[in-house]
């Protein structure tokens, strides 16, 4: 695993809400690489350190290893100055405040002095979502939030405790928030990412499965890759991004079921968007069914549903004890690849027919 400009998806869980699935993503890479594309970034810092930095700005050179220091270096956003006039101030109750910036990301949320009350870590992590709810009440639409290892840096909080706390808080609050769609958990250190990946699967009670390397699966891989190349030439830039995601997932040395399932489902969403006349719902299931209104054959829609269901199963948090079989198996993943191969053949025919777009 290497650090790149584009933080690489390592693990993901989706939480069902009335607005559709909301995602919690663990990524490996530079936390500042795409920070301008998020609506809010969260940081944690000691209040006394903020006071020191306001008095002596030369001290910022010693903070480049921290998220709030890297944020200032990358964007010019000064958390110490913002702390003086926050738009929402919940420090007395929860230790959090939020301030609007003059650049991107538009908002900074700051947790102060968590190292002084480690026994309150769960409540403090929960407080981030309370803070976002306050922002929503003020009319602020936070759709993407980037969250580092709050308190796990200089404060010395355990990595696993921070990740587990944020995951549990996300599962409670995301269904209640109107706008928040994605939480990005970005970490540069490879060893930490590996630990967090394992912990995330443990908290979610799921196995990190890989695709088999048998003859059938290899044939299906090759078939999907060939058909990705066939549809790419007529695809839009956004569709090419989805095609590339699936290609990378399939070509990986260890092809993970999570990566393939999620990337395949995203590509199905792109195909549905190309075929449908006007999207009328957040729900992919409903969008696929409505393709019957534009004459799409039922068996093609059934392939779409197959890929959708497998993608949902590998991404969503569902207790395995409540279903039988408990987990997706190699045969299910092979069927998903076959379904994707057939859908790409259909999409190529759709593009050639002149109906695309």
Q: What CATH number corresponds to the domain at position 231?
A: 1.20.120
Task: Give the end of a domain, one of 169, 204, 239.
Answer: 204
Rounded Cα–Cα distance for residues 244 and 255 (Å): 15
226-241, pLDDT tens digit by residue? 999 999 999 999 999 9
Same domain for 223 and 190: no
C-alpha–C-alpha distance, residues 70 and 35, integer Å: 11
Residue 169 and residue 282 in one domain: no
Kindly write down the DSSP assignment for every residue of 263-315, as one continuous string.
HHHHHHHHHHHHH-SS---S-HHHHHHHGGGGT--HHHHHHHHHHHHHHHHHH
Angle ∠(29,33,35) on CA atoms, nearest 5: 115
The answer to whether residue 314 is domain-embedded is yes
Q: What is the pLDDT of residue 119?
A: 66
The parent domain of residue 230 ranges over 215-352
Please check whether residues 196 and 219 belong to one and the same domain.
Answer: no
Structure tokens at 328: 């997706």
pTM of the model: 0.76
Per-residue pLDDT of the chain (357 residues), as tens digits, is: 344 457 888 888 888 888 878 899 999 999 999 899 999 999 999 999 999 999 999 999 999 999 999 999 999 999 999 999 999 999 999 999 999 999 999 999 999 998 777 667 788 889 999 999 999 999 999 999 999 877 666 556 677 778 888 888 888 899 999 999 999 988 888 898 888 888 888 877 766 667 777 888 888 989 999 999 999 999 999 999 999 999 999 998 777 888 899 999 999 999 999 999 777 666 889 999 999 988 999 999 999 999 999 998 888 766 555 677 777 788 888 899 999 999 999 999 999 988 776
pLDDT, tens only, 34-90: 899 999 999 999 999 999 999 999 999 999 999 999 999 999 999 999 999 999 999
Task: Give the CATH number of the domain where residue 34 resides.
Answer: 3.40.220.10
Residue 91: phi and psi, rounded to 5, are -65, -40
- Are both 57 and 185 inside the same structural domain? yes
Q: How many independent structural domains does the chain possess?
A: 2
């Amino acid at each position: 695993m290497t650090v790149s400009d584009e933080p690489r998806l390592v693990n993901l869980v989706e939480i069902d809400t009335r607005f559709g699935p909301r995602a919690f993503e663990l990524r490996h890479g530079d936390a500042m690489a795409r920070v301008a594309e998020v609506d809010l970034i969260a940081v944690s810092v000691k209040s006394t350190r903020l006071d020191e930095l306001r008095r002596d700005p030369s001290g910022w050179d010693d903070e480049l290893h921290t998220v709030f220091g890297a944020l200032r270096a990358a964007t010019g956003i000064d958390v110490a100055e913002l702390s003086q006039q926050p738009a929402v101030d919940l420090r007395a109750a929860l230790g959090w405040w939020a301030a609007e910036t003059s650049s991107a990301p538009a908002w900074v949320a700051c947790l102060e002095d968590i190292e002084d009350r480690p026994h309150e870590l769960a409540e403090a992590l929960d407080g981030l979502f309370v803070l976002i709810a306050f922002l929503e009440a003020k009319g602020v639409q936070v759709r993407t939030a980037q969250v580092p290892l709050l308190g796990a840096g200089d404060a010395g909080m355990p990595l696993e405790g921070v990740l587990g706390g944020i995951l549990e808080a996300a599962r409670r609050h995301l269904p209640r928030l109107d706008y928040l769609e994605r939480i990005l958990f970005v970490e540069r250190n490879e060893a930490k990412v590996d630990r967090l990946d394992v912990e995330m699967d443990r908290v979610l009670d799921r196995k990190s499965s890989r695709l088999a390397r048998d003859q059938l699966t290899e044939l299906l891989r090759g078939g999907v890759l060939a058909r990705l190349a066939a549809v790419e030439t007529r695809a839009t830039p956004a569709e090419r991004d989805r095609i590339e995601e699936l290609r990378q997932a399939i070509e990986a040395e260890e092809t993970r079921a999570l990566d393939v399932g999620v990337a395949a489902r995203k590509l199905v969403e792109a195909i549905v968007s190309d075929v449908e006349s006007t999207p009328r719902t957040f729900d992919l299931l409903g969008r696929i069914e409505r393709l019957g209104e534009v004459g799409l054959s039922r068996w093609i829609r059934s392939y779409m549903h197959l890929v959708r269901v497998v993608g949902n199963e590998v991404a969503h948090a569902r207790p395995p004890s409540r279903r039988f079989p408990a987990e997706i198996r190699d045969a299910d993943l092979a069927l998903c690849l076959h379904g994707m191969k057939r859908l790409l053949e259909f999409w190529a025919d759709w593009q050639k027919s002149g109906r695309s777009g």
